[in-house]
Chains A and B, each alone.
Chain A
Amino acid sequence: KAGVTQTPRYLIKTRGQQVTLSCSPISGHRSVSWYQQTPGQGLQFLFEYFSETQRNKGNFPGRFSGRQFSNSRSEMNVSTLELGDSALYLCASSLLSGQGSYEQYFGPGTRLTVT
């Protein structure tokens, strides 16, 4: 079974631009969560989508948004990029949401650099 895939793997953007990252979960998984990882703040939860609905959101500004499609694929968008948005963005999928396990499967991440 294929793992979680994220595209692109690397991205360089300029301040003020916007970016869209994509995540394809493991086949059959309906929950997709997004995380941001930086050296200073560590791994931080952005949001979770389940059956095309956002179920939970972390403490990030409204510039960070996401969506999930009917095939469970998910995208996250960051508008008006800031230097501090440079990070590794990780996507994780799981079969269900809040159903008795913290076992999530993470993708390799998208390394975003904002200049």
Chain B
Amino acid sequence: LAKTTQPISMDSYEGQEVNITCSHNNIATNDYITWYQQFPSQGPRFIIQGYKTKVTNEVASLFIPADRKSSTLSLPRVSLSDTAVYYCLVGDLGGYNKLIFGAGTRLAVHP
């Protein structure tokens, strides 16, 4: 599984767009990029997953450049309830359901 690097923490204000970048220089050809969100004292929640270019769902967008060595999770117009830890995971989906979590990015949204 490729190692990932994310900022330890970020601050934002309500209504702003937040972009969290994850670096994964050693990503393999078969690896996918997945993001999870975790609120305090709760289990992580799947946000989005992608392989290349751009993926969008009702919660977020995921931008992946052509070299796939990094990815950016974009949260549009954040609210206080988006305050959480965000994890970037990279791995081959053909393996077992073993998620390898890094330290994640602690996002604080201020009023």
Contacts and interface: CB of A to CB of B under 8 A. Distances in A.
Interface in B39-79: 41-46, 49
Interface residues of A, number: 32
Report whether over half of chain B's contact residues are helix, strand or loop; otherwise say mixed.
loop
B23 to A, nearest CB: 18
Interface in A11-66: 31, 33, 35, 42-45, 48, 50, 55-56, 58
B34 to A, nearest CB: 4
B94 interface: yes
B93 interface: yes
Contacts, number: 78
B29 to A, nearest CB: 15
A2 to B, nearest CB: 15
Contacts of A48: 96-98
Chain B interface residue bracket vs A: 20 to 34
Contact of A45 (B42, B98, B104): B98
B40 to A, nearest CB: 10
Report whether over half of chain A's contact residues are helix, strand or loop; otherwise say mixed.
strand
Contacts of B93: 98-102
A68 B41 CA distance: 25
Interface of A: 4, 31, 33, 35, 42-45, 48, 50, 55-56, 58, 88, 90-92, 94, 97-109, 111
Top 6 A-B pairs ranked by shortest CB distance? A106-B43, A43-B101, A56-B96, A102-B34, A103-B46, A90-B43
